[in-house]
Amino acid sequence: MIPNRRGAPPIFALIAVLLASAVLAAETASGADSRLAAQFRNADADGDGKLSRAEAGRAAPGWAARFDAIDADRDGKISPEEIRASRRAGKDGRKSAVATKFDQLFDRADADGDGILSQGEAQTGLPRVATKFDRIDKNGDGRLTREEMRAWLAAKRAARTAK
């Protein structure tokens, strides 16, 4: 005979929701990590597990531009761990919270780490920006730089304050 389990279904439902949330969070984190790992492998020409300034410059201009801020141990090479730590810390720790958030969002969307957003990267990583892509892309080259994004955001801010 099975004992009466009044109230058991809501508990099981709660457990299922919690487990599903944990799985989704893990998949999201592992997705970002696997994307970073793939980008890093492509850039690591000598396969030593670290990027020299030259390797970063050739294959990952976005990382190259921030090389000194990422290279926490100052050994002249950057590792995946240093890149992750830099992303978590907001690069050099001196930027404003808004600038740091902007850079974090931009970096997450910049799947290939080249410091520029393609239409596809914007669609995947910043879908609301993707809907305005052509307006933001002032030079019409089909790519969004940080500068174009900042200029667009500044113009939006200025328009709001002028009202």
Are the beta carbons of 149 and 136 closer than 8 angstroms? yes
Tokens, residue 41: 């492998």
Backbone angles phi, psi at 131, to 5 degrees: -70, -20
Q: Quick one: which of 112, 46, 33, 117 has its CA closest to 80? A: 33
Residue 68, CB half-sphere, CA atoms under 13 Å: how many?
Answer: 0
Whole-number Å distance between alpha carbons of 123 and 6 = 47
Q: Is 94 exposed, middle or buried (0-12, 13-18, 19+ CB in 10 A)?
A: exposed
**What tens-digit pLDDT sequence spans the chain (163 residues)?**
455 455 445 555 545 555 544 444 444 445 567 788 888 999 999 999 999 999 998 988 888 888 988 888 889 999 999 888 887 776 444 455 566 788 888 988 998 888 899 999 999 999 999 999 999 999 999 999 989 998 998 898 888 888 7
Helices (H), 44-118: 53-59, 61-65, 67-70, 80-89, 97-109
Question: What pLDDT is stored for residue 9 in this prediction?
Answer: 52
List the Cα angle 138/140/142 in 5-degree steps: 115
Q: Tens digits of per-residue pLDDT, 122-146?
A: 999 999 999 999 999 999 999 999 8
Tokens, residue 128: 């609301």
Size (the chain), residues: 163
Segment holding 2, helix H or strand E: none
What is the reported pTM? Answer: 0.42
Q: Tens digits of per-residue pLDDT, 80-97?
A: 998 888 877 764 444 555
In this prediction, what percent of the chain has a pLDDT beyond 70? 74
Q: State which amino acid sits at residue 124.
A: T
